[in-house]
Amino acid sequence: MTGAAAVPRRGGNFSEILSERWYAPDLVLVVQTRYFDPRSGEATYKLTQLRRGEPDAALFAVPSDYTVRTPRERRERPETPGTPDKK
């Protein structure tokens, strides 16, 4: 989708504002946008390095040093932020 608009400026001149949006229906997401306004400049978004397929299962694995504590245990023994619990 592309859109352009002429915006009036002082002195009777016009500035053109451009808006583009590229959508991939098979991915169900926007892969690129571009907005250009001579008053504020250009803003661009581009999706890159997209890989189709299943993500690595390691991304969803629970860390080996992860410990589940009840709310009571958290109140009794507050941990220092950024340090893992000792088992």
Pair 32, 42: CB distance under 8 Å: no
- Quick: pLDDT tens for 20-51: 999 999 999 999 999 998 888 999 999 999 88
The pLDDT assigned to 4 comes to 63
* Domain boundaries defined on the chain: 2-76
3-state secondary structure at position 57: helix
Residues 46, 24: Cα–Cα separation, whole Å: 12
Residue 36 and residue 42 in contact, taking contact as beta carbons nearer than 8 Å = yes
Is this prediction's pTM over 0.75?
Answer: no
Q: pLDDT exceeding 90 applies to what percent of the chain?
A: 39
**Across the chain, which distance is largest between two alpha carbons, in Å?**
74
Would you list the DSSP string of 4-19? EEEEE-GGG-EEEEEE
